Structure 1
Amino acid sequence: MWTTDDTETFTGVIGKIVDIHDERQKVSELEHKATHDTMTGLVNHVHAKEMIAEVLAGNPNREFALVIFDLDHFKQANDNYGHYFGDQVLKHVAEKLNKSVRSTDISARIGGDEFLIFIEYDNNLEMIIDRIFHSLTGQFQNFKISLSMGIAETNVCGRDYAHLFCCADKALYVVKNSGRGRYCTYDNSMQEQF
């Protein structure tokens, strides 16, 4: 038989458990907001950088590629159809990106209409890139989604995140200056162009 004191004690314990659960849930939500892009749900650039640095440090004998891409003529879509439409395009691309990468890959929105993918590969990098590239391009309502991608491989650019990012960015610059709508892998001859 429970007394009134027992019931009050039990109710107090349950209340504290609920409070602890709510507090943990709030902390988890804050951590997610700090590490993910609020619009697309993808990892944000800061967290992607941390994750990639950790993967590179822990896997010195594996080959990786860092891919940076942006949407061709995205500003035009925003100007013609409005920012709400532009946001819908970004969400659509993020959904397709999530479906086209493997669970071991890292995908992130790094700002505006720029995205990042970090891929481990053996000898099949071009096949992986080609599959991702073609899965992301296509029509979204009135807007034709076209991408420009720059790729940096660890076997060419090393294992430092900042240098990999710089190499991928240079390859992206080459693509954008030569017509867009394709991808390009960094090679050392590009260093002389900048």
Structure 2
Amino acid sequence: MSALKNGDQTTAPDDVIKAAVTDAWDFWLSQREVSLPELIQAATKEAVREWLDERGPELFAAAIREAARAAAIDAATQRKISPSDETPQLGLAEVRRAWDEVTKATAKKSKRVAAIVRAAWVVHVDDTQVNLYVPSSVLEKLLRPELHYVEKALYETLGVRWTVSVTSQRTEPNADRPGETSSAPLPTNPGVA
């Protein structure tokens, strides 16, 4: 196309406009230190940042689950390594007497778990395990994944490393194996001893 003159106005052809924009862009780039690797690096950083923003919470949750699993394995290994000669022999009565202190120690770590533990009733104690009864399956489901708090509180309070289990099923004493469960009937309101 050729340039048209209308009085004072001149219309430039498309090629002239493209050349002007290209010259301006080339001049702008020549005045700045911009390289392809820097552009790729900046784009990669932005893409990774967006990806982490979208998936960060699930990644952190997976990392926390893995750390908790590793800690549980370490704790289980520690229990196996611990010589039983050093473990004081405590029974059901001693654990029940100390239950308020165990609940307070649990509350330092988790108030929610402590509230459930306050309603729990100790029904069995042996060298390696403490069994708890809670009055509903909902409380059982809430407490089961948080039993590590109770295990730590028992260790802090009584100095014994026990594995803790919980059930909402009422059990009667086992006559074939004395000491297996409490000889006292389960309370109707375990939170009140």
Tell which structure's C-alpha radius of gyration is larger.
2
Structure with the largest fraction of strand: 1
Task: State the TM-score, normalizing by the size of structure 2.
Answer: 0.30
TM-score (structure 1 length as normaliser):
0.30
Q: Which structure would you say has the larger RCO, counting Cα contacts within 8 Å and 6 or more residues apart?
A: 1
